[in-house]
Amino acid sequence: MHSFKTQRLEVIKNIQEVWPNFKVKIDKFKQADKDKMENDLKNGFKDIRKTWLAGEHPDVKEHWPPRVIIGKQVGEAKELMKKEDDNLEVRLM
């Protein structure tokens, strides 16, 4: 029976062996997403770069299409939920 440490080391070794091939596959998907994003930015989302930092800032995850609502709010914000205690208030708008 292998120890937990030995099992972890084996898993790490296995990941290191398959990582180069896996990275090639991931890079193909990333490039396709990046190409689609750049095409969409040229043809429809021209002002998105003013408010969206994906691909521009290292702390912002790259993904296309965006998985969150982006842009300026239209109309008045509605409070959907509010939770609070003595130290914290959280509002879902």
Alpha helices, DSSP H, located in 1-93: 4-43
Q: Output the pLDDT for position 12.
A: 93
Q: What is the pLDDT of residue 61?
A: 65
- What is the per-residue pLDDT for 75? 72
pLDDT at 50: 67
Residue 80: which domain range? 4-92
Note the pTM of the prediction, 2 decimals: 0.43
Nearest by Cα to 48 from 72, 76, 23, 80: 72
pLDDT at 30: 83
| Cα distances (angstroms) measured from residue 81 to each of 34, 44, 78, 84, 93 | 35, 33, 9, 10, 7
**Ramachandran region, residue 24 (left: φ > 0; alpha: ψ -120 to 50; beta: rest):** alpha
Instruction: Give the residue ranges of the chain where pLDDT is below 70.
Output: 1, 45-74
Total domain count for the chain?
1
Q: How many helices (H) and strands (E) does the chain have?
A: 1, 2
The answer to whether the beta carbons of residues 72 and 47 sit under 8 Å apart is no
